[in-house]
Amino acid sequence: MAEHQLRPCNEGIKGVLPERGPSSSQVLAVMTLLRLGSFLLLLAGLTLTITLIGLAVSSPVFVICSPVLLPAILVIVFAVLGFIASGAFGVIALSSMSWTVNYLRRLRFLEQMEHVNRQAQETAGQMGQRVRETRQRVQSKDLKSDRTGPSGPAEKG
């Protein structure tokens, strides 16, 4: 009985696990990527370290030469910000003009549709009036023909 209870559990685990291990090409790929990733991580760390050392060494030079460098840096920063702001304002202006043109087109289209709708309603009203008038004429002709009969006016007896 104990074997019978363990058997379905064993089959369930076998269904979850792969039938065989990773292939040799998969292991080779993982090892290559692991080495490459380690090398790139080491390179990133060295770059950060060298950058921090260079900044620490060059900071005194920047402080000594700041009367010349600071205005130059400010001019460059403001020029770049000016170009970026100019581009942003241009994009905003073009998009707002495009939106306005599309809005006016939609508004004009809606006005035209309202005009067409009014004309259709007027035409429908006129056609309805004509139908009523025609029906009244036909009814009055039917009444006249009933009174006069097919051969002429009805005789009173």
pLDDT above 80: residue 4 = no
Q: How confident is the model at residue 157 (pLDDT cuts 50, 70, 90)?
A: very low
The owner of tokens 């025609």 is: 134
More confident call, 69 vs 73: 73
Task: Dump pLDDT digits (tens) for 6-19.
Answer: 555 555 556 555 56
Instruction: With a cut of 60, say whether residue 55 has pLDDT above it.
Output: yes
| Rounded distance between C-alpha atoms, residue 74 and residue 78, angstroms | 6
Dist. CA 22–CA 79, nearest whole Å: 57
Taking only the tens place, the pLDDT of each residue in 81-124 is 998 999 889 888 888 888 888 888 887 888 888 888 888 888 88
